[in-house]
Amino acid sequence: MTTTTRRHPIAGNWASLLLPIAEDDSIDFVKLAEEIDILIAAGVDGIYSNGTAGEFHNQSEAEYERIQDVLASRCRAAGMPFVIGACQSDPIIMLDRLRRATVHRPLAIQVIFPDWWPLTNLEAIDFLNRASETAEGIPLILYNPPHAKRVLSPAELSDVCGACPSVVGMKIADGDDAWYAQARTHLAEFSLFIPGHHLATGMKQGVAAGAFSNVACLNPRGAQAWTELIHRDLDAALDIESRICAFMDDHIVPFRRDRGYSNAALDKLLAAIGNWGPVSTRLRWPYRFIDEQEAASLRDRARTIIPELFAQ
Ligand SMILES: N[C@@H](CC=O)C(=O)O
């Protein structure tokens, strides 16, 4: 894929900051700090806050502030790149989160489109331009997941984001070969982040810069080693990817498809299976979370199917 000057060097394996939720539904900030230190020690390419997995949709503004403070201070002290998610369904609150994120000078800031009434392309451009002004020169990454109120095609993403110079990247779902061809045609100037479990394919297709990664939820250190392997030995990395996908399809996706759990519940299940830090499966009310026992019983399966992710 031909790149242009807009394409930002941000890339690689980005670990989601998952919220340790206590039994009384509060955020355990001591455990949050501990989790960040573990992710830093794992040597991931970066840590980001407030994706769906980070429950951005279910926290107060004071909590938002405190999460970003903890993330920024610990990452800065360790020289670890970080991205802040300013995402929120309400555009006014989102711009305010964005304004408060700029204080920490993250590598980039993630935004979504306002998400109650779907935006037209013109409204989306207007929103991103206002977000760009608010970001004070910090690059923006548009997070447009499959569950967004409006999911844009590569051509639509190009029309909308092309009009907003601060948007340097997108975090989107990938697709089949035809989708990848469209992405190459329309989105070459952007850094594209695709779902973590497809990263080797996305890089083979010459499209993906990295992932804000569910594989890092399972094991941040293993996901980092796999990301590095993609550059060294693509065939070996694709073989691991096929087993990661099989594990997801057989053991993780059924919780959403058959039992109605949210994506955040699935990502927290992955972290509990990986058992690498102080993050349980618990989500904040009203969202249902997967019993910790399910994680314990999948632990051996994960290690058997994809031992490479647990070898470090
Ligand atoms: N979609 C996720 C990515 C990690 O699994 C997110 O919430 O950012």
pLDDT along the chain (312 residues), means of 10: 65 98 98 98 98 98 98 98 98 98 98 96 98 96 97 98 95 98 97 98 98 98 98 98 98 98 98 98 98 98 98 85
Q: Does the beta carbon of 212 sit less than 6 angstroms from any atom of ligand 1?
A: yes
Pairing of strands 108-111, 208-213: unpaired
Whole-number pLDDT of residue 3: 45
| Residue in 48, 171, 261, 262 to alter for ligand 1 test, most ligand atoms within 8 A of Cβ | 171
Omega before 286 within 30 of 0, i.e. cis: yes
Neighbour tally for 249: CB within 10 Å:
12
Query: Looking at residue 8, what is its pLDDT?
Result: 81
Give pLDDT, residue 68.
98
Ligand 1, atom nearest to 217 Cα: 5
Predicted complex: ipTM over 0.85 = yes
- 136 C-alpha to ligand 1 centroid (Å): 25
Atom number, ligand 1, closest to the C-alpha of residue 85: 8
Rg of the chain (C-alpha set)? 18
Ligand 1 centroid distance, CA of 197 (Å): 11
Which helix (DSSP H) or strand (DSSP E) does residue 142 occupy?
strand 140-144
Q: How far is residue 240 from each of residues 45, 230, 233, 312, measured CA to CA in Å? A: 20, 10, 11, 15
Exposed e or buried b for every residue in 73-85, given b needs 16+ CB within 10 A? ebbeeeebbbbbb
Ligand 1 pocket check for 52: Cβ under 6 Å = yes
Residue 224 Cβ contacting ligand 1 at under 6 Å:
no
Q: Both ends of the chain: CA-CA distance in Å? A: 32
CA-proximal residue: ligand 1, atom 4 (nearest): 214
> Which one-letter amino acid corresponds to residue 14?
W
| Calpha distance 13→163 (Å, rounded) | 28
CB 250 within 8 A of CB 306: no
How much is the pLDDT for 4? 52
Residue 2: the pLDDT is 44
- Ligand 1 atom with minimal separation from the 52 CA: 7
Eight-class DSSP state of 50: -
* Cβ pair 292, 280 in contact under 8 A: yes
Q: What pLDDT does residue 181 have?
A: 98
User: Using CA positions, which residue lies closest to atom 8 of ligand 1?
Assistant: 51
Candidates 16, 83, 144, 268: which one to mutate for ligand 1, based on the most atoms within 8 Å of Cβ?
16
pTM of the model: 0.96
Angle between helices 61-78 and 91-102 (to 10 degrees): 30
**Is the beta carbon of 16 within 6 A of some atom in ligand 1?**
yes
Q: Is the CB of 51 under 6 A from ligand 1?
A: yes
Q: How far is CA 144 from CA 24, 87, 113, 260, 303, in A?
A: 32, 11, 7, 21, 32
Ligand 1 centroid to residue 18 C-alpha, Å: 10
Sign of the alpha-carbon torsion through 180, 181, 187, 189:
positive
Choose one of 47, 263, 270 to mutate for the ligand 1 pocket test, by most ligand atoms within 8 angstroms of C-beta: 263
Ligand 1 contact via 14 beta carbon (within 6 Å): no
53 lines ligand 1 (CB under 6 A): yes
CB 68 within 8 A of CB 82: no
Residues shown for the chain: 312
- Residue 7: its pLDDT value, please? 73
